[in-house]
Amino acid sequence: MKSLQTKWTFQTGGEISTTPAVATFSGQHILFIGSWTGVFYALDATTGQKLWTFTVDYVGGRCNGQAPWCRIGSSPAVDVANKMVYFGSYSGYLYALNALTGQLVWKAQAGDSLAGYEVWSSPAVYNGMVFVGVSSHGDNPCLPGGSVNAYDEFTGQLVWTFNTIDQSTCPGGGICVGGSIWSSLAIDDVNGIVYAGTGNPGSTCTPPTQNAGLYPDSILALSASTGKLLSYFQAIADDVNDKDFGASPVLHFSGTVNQCVPSGTRPLQYWLTEPSKNGYLFTLQRSANGWIGNPQQNFAQTLGFIATPGLLPAQLTQSCDSVGHKIINYNNIIYIPGSAGGLWLYEQLGYAPVALRKSTPLSAQALLGAPAVISDIVLVGGSDGNFYAADYNGNLLNTIAVGSPLLGGVAISNGAVYFGSKDGTVYGLTLGQARKK
């Protein structure tokens, strides 16, 4: 592999637990990231120079810089065409800024921060709307239901909301809490569907309540235009051990095209994969109306998964005659960092089920951030303060000691690698020349 070399660093002064977003405007590469001091940064992704900052609201006034009461735990989303960047914060607000100037365009409060509402989820932009999950500050206190909210992208007006706790399923007719949306949403932009994984039910909250029957520990399929529930899958009913979904779902497809024997062509099938804190990897087949059939379930480890998977679509092509016709198999490799410190590699070959191929121990501590996959290299940060590089097969290639826990994910853009650390440092790395052996 080529060696990773630090090109620049930038100190924010506050903990970073998010994944940076990098976008290009008129040839300028800009990195966006927020810190736990409540300051949101735009940096020149080439040099690390600060371009502008924005400080979030705190209940009763501006953020006072005290973590975690003004933290930004939401990774940003960028709409390049409209020059907008979106993120949420501890204050319960969703912010929309001009990506070039940092000027506030609008803000929408998803819930009262003093009542426990927070936006951890990264927003998703689709069809003129911004979608975001709403959670509690943690499990103390939990909310009477998290939610998925949709806002007008340009005005911030609430379009619809879906509450993740159906109070009619709360035993005894009481009020049940839980169901926070901790992770980011996934958008099927062909069928107009929003997918979300939900959090734990009331019995694992402080103070506890009874467990609602619907929809904790579930993967939801919602209409993007109306918020109507299309279908759902509940991984655990009556969860008493906090084994919910902390990772984001990833979307992928598989199938075979046979140019020599058309009958050998198998139409593309569409999938969603999401790991859980209960140690299972769930894969569900998607349609225009949500799920089809029963989910595939792969058990991996007792400690489970919090990190969002990295996906590498793997197209395998082979000749089938002498005139250039081919057989094309659309496969997928899925890399998942584990809470026990291992990197888990799953593969989906055509119509075959998703199956575990290998697990590689990287760290003695949890891997919490989403990996990035570039060519044949997988990059992931560890809570032990190390940055790891593995090859296509999951074998460890290199370890870089950063010295501070890496809690967020890794971003790759224009041949450069970016991430933030708990001590507030943003790193910009480049791929250097091949190492001498």
DSSP code per residue over 272-320: EEEE-TTSEEEEEEEETTEEEEEEEEEE--TT---SPPEEEEEEEEEE-
- The whole-number pLDDT of residue 138 equals 84
Mean pLDDT, residues 40-54 taken together:
98
- pLDDT tens across 113-163, in order? 888 899 999 999 999 999 999 999 888 888 899 999 999 999 999 999 999
> So what's the pLDDT on residue 433?
43
Q: List the chain domain ranges.
A: 251-357
Of the candidates 171, 184, 178, 301, the one whose C-alpha atom is nearest the C-alpha of residue 240 is 178
Whether residue 383 is predicted with pLDDT greater than 80 in this model: the reply is: yes
Give the CA radius of gyration of the chain: 21
265-274 average pLDDT score: 93
CA distance 346 to 336: 8
How much is the average pLDDT of 76-94?
97
**Is the model's pLDDT at 437 over the cut of 80?**
no
Q: Give the pLDDT confidence score for residue 351 in this predicted structure.
A: 84
Q: What is the pLDDT of residue 113?
A: 86
Residue 400 banded pLDDT, cuts 50, 70, 90: very high
pLDDT at 127 (0 to 100): 98
Tell me the helices (H) and strands (E) count for the chain, helix number first. 0, 35
State the average pLDDT over residues 96-106.
Answer: 99
Residue 1 has pLDDT above 70, yes or no: no
Q: Please give the average per-residue pLDDT across 348-372, as a whole number.
A: 95
Dihedral angle of Cα 356, 188, 148, 245, to the nearest 10 degrees? 0
First to last CA, the chain: 11
| pLDDT score, position 434 | 37
Closest alpha carbon to 41 in 23, 53, 28: 53
- Please tell me which residue, 265 or 372, carries the higher pLDDT value: 372
Banded model confidence at residue 58, pLDDT cuts 50, 70, 90 = confident
* pLDDT, greater one: 34 or 65: 34
Question: 172 or 416, which is more confident?
Answer: 416
pLDDT for 2 equals 57
Residue 408 has pLDDT above 80, yes or no: yes
CB 150 within 8 A of CB 133: no
DSSP 8-state class, residue 178: B
pLDDT score of 302 more than 90: no
Digit-coded pLDDT (tens) for 150-179: 999 999 999 999 999 999 999 988 899 999
- Provide the phi-psi class of 203: left if phi over 0, else alpha when psi is between -120 and 50, else beta: alpha
% the chain with pLDDT above 90: 81
- What's the whole-number average pLDDT of the chain? 93
99-103, 301-305, 340-344: lowest mean pLDDT where?
301-305
Reported as a pLDDT band with limits 50, 70 and 90, residue 35 is very high
Q: Which residues contact 66 (CB under 8 A, 6 or more apart)?
A: none
pLDDT, residue 67, reads 63
- Whether the pLDDT of residue 262 is over 70: the answer is yes
β-pairing, 28-34 with 93-98? unpaired
Torsions phi, psi of 392, nearest 5? -55, -35
Average pLDDT rounded to a whole number, residues 384-403: 96
The pLDDT, as a whole number, for residue 60 is 58
Kindly tell me if the per-residue pLDDT of 435 is higher than 60.
Answer: no
Residues 182 and 137: beta-carbon distance below 8 Å: no
Determine contact, residues 51/33, Cβ cutoff 8 Å. no
Q: What is the pLDDT of residue 139?
A: 84
CB burial of 11-46 (b: ≥16 within 10 Å; e: otherwise) equals ebebbbbbbbbbbeeeeebbbbbbbbbbbbbbbbbb
What is the C-alpha separation between 359 and 337, in angstroms, rounded? Answer: 10
CB 353 within 8 A of CB 359: no
